[in-house]
Amino acid sequence: MMMAEEMKATVLTMREAGAVLFGESSERARKRAAYLLKTQGIKTIKNGKQTLVRRDVLQKEFGIDYQGKVTPLDLERS
């Protein structure tokens, strides 16, 4: 498993995004991250076969901070 210290890059691969989003760097987490970003309409960067996502986009959309921790969403209940 990749540690947060290893992932201080500005852009992340889908494997790294899977580690940040789901806490694991497996093939399944990579596919889940790619599917999540695609279904949510999150802008990604294509570099040949590689798909990248900006770290600040993950932070904005999902509340992921730079240490890989999740900030709870504030959902109002009616």
1-46 tens-digit pLDDT: 444 445 567 889 999 999 888 888 899 999 999 999 999 999 999 9
Say what the pLDDT of residue 76 is: 60
Q: What pLDDT score was predicted for residue 60?
A: 87
Asked if 68 and 4 count as a contact pair (C-beta separation under 8 A), the reply is yes
Residue 78 pLDDT exceeds 50: no
- 68 within a domain of the structure (yes/no): no
Domain count, the chain: 1
Taking 80 as the threshold, does the pLDDT of residue 65 lie above it? no
Residue 57 covered by a domain:
yes
74 domain-assigned: no
The tens digit of pLDDT for each residue in 43-53 reads: 999 999 999 99
Query: Is the pTM here over 0.75, yes or no?
Result: no
Helix (H) or strand (E) holding 13: strand 11-13
Domain boundaries, position 34: 4-62
